[in-house]
Amino acid sequence: MIKIQQASDLSIPLIAPLARTIWEEHYTPIIGKAQVDYMLNQFQSVQAIVQQITQGMMYYLVYQNDVLCGYFAIKIEQKDLFISKFYLSATTRGQGISRIMLAFIEQQANASACEQLSLTVNKDNSARKAYEKLGFSVQKSIKADIGEGYYMDDYVMVKPVSSSI
């Protein structure tokens, strides 16, 4: 059984260790350990998550049979619902959980009258193919300076919001 729960003050500290596990396994081969460590500190530490929430980001934890297996974060930006984080542990990928997560996100988008979903994905990330299977398409390419000489070299992907979920 899959359960999605909005992060609370008590559950926020659960996200950072899960992020570290997922990022070290998935992103180290793509961007290297030094950049992974930098990005985890800057964007996925407890302090960074709390700050993002105060700026309007909404974090959600995903449980499979009461075991934390993933998380995502979304932010409404006018008629666009931006998916900032969308992560599952390696052992739970390929089981349809991402579709459940996306259906939940689309419900949030519909409730907020958003017209599209958007996200960014590293150009070398194999997850791009999964996003395409979920209905996203590449809109443009961006390269963002994130400090300390690191860049995010990403595709912006979008998906129209379906009103019939």
- Output the average pLDDT for the chain: 94
**Which position has the higher pLDDT, 69 or 164?**
69
pLDDT in tens, 98-146: 999 999 999 999 999 999 999 999 999 989 999 999 999 999 999 999 9
Give every CB contact of residue 31 below 8 A, 6+ residues apart in sequence: 39, 122
Check: CB of residue 109 under 8 Å from CB of residue 161: yes
Is residue 31's pLDDT more than 50? Answer: yes
**What local confidence, expressed as pLDDT, does residue 26 receive?**
92
The model carries a pTM of: 0.93
Identify the architecture of domain 2-160 in CATH: 3-Layer(aba) Sandwich (3.40)
Map out the domains of the chain as residue ranges: 2-160
Beta bridge partners of residue 62, listed in sequence order: 4, 70
pLDDT in tens, 148-161: 999 999 999 999 99
Check: CB of residue 20 under 8 Å from CB of residue 49: no
**What local confidence, expressed as pLDDT, does residue 154 receive?**
97
